[in-house]
Amino acid sequence: METRDSGELHAWLVHEGKVVVRTRRSHGKAKYVPVDKIRCQLKVNEAQFFGLIACHVSKQDYLQILIDKGVISKPN
């Protein structure tokens, strides 16, 4: 994912020139984004989310998850 830190950490995944998922994480406590909301923004279930956090899910694995969910189209 590409990231930008501007008071909040913004992250987005670009696939074939198109942003397919995005999320943000605040550094402050007042703007806390619940973990469940981040998980939903990334379009994954709990097990997949914890795999992403632990770096057990590769980029190709994550792209396959998004293909299986219809978020991105299958490669030609």
Q: What is the pLDDT of residue 32?
A: 60
C-alpha–C-alpha distance, residues 5 and 45, integer Å: 26
Residue 10: phi and psi, rounded to 5, are -100, 140
| Tens-digit pLDDT profile for residues 18-62 | 988 988 777 666 556 677 888 888 899 999 999 988 999 998 999
Q: What is the pLDDT of residue 43?
A: 92
Position 67 pLDDT exceeds 90: yes
Better-scored residue on pLDDT, 29 or 11:
11
C-alpha–C-alpha distance, residues 64 and 35, integer Å: 22
Q: What is the pLDDT of residue 31?
A: 57
C-alpha–C-alpha distance, residues 58 and 66, integer Å: 12
